Amino acid sequence: MLKAGDRAPGFSNPDADMALVELSQFRGKTLVLYFYVRDDTPGCTAEAIEFSELENDFAKLGATVLGVSRDDCIKHGEFRDKHGISVRLLADKEHATSEAYGVLQDKEVDGIMRRSAVRATFIIDKQGIIRHALYGVSSRGHAAEVLHLVALMNKGELN
């Protein structure tokens, strides 16, 4: 698992509109990269809506928010449009980004071991260094907690 102080792994994933998004595009900006399990589930929907509602507040702090799941671009588009989600959602169908960030874990489901995503968020600074690596987070209220961490980080109160 990644931790504060680690260099953020590079990624290149398409968004809901199939535009390629890469970590390098955010050099010089704070990036909030949150991983969620699946589009259109209750917790993931609540989390995406909360991040969207706070998107302008993140922008005022110079931060961009991106959501990542293993759903494809079409499913992301449907999810975004159905719920009015404004943050960009990245498709990780090949699981490379999820693997790089350590958000896939083996879980037993009905007696079968499967790789499942763990809800996690990374706050990446302007130099591409992870300042906060939060694994196993709760979906509700999480966006506000992350906004608070970004605000403190910008004030130099959190390293």
The catalytic residue positions are 44
Pull the structure tokens for residue 10.
């590079």
What residues contact 11, with CB distance under 8 A and at least 6 apart?
Answer: 21, 22, 23, 90, 96, 97, 100
Give dist(CA 138, CA 37) in Å, integer: 12
Pull the structure tokens for residue 130.
């992870």
Pull the structure tokens for residue 97.
């980004």
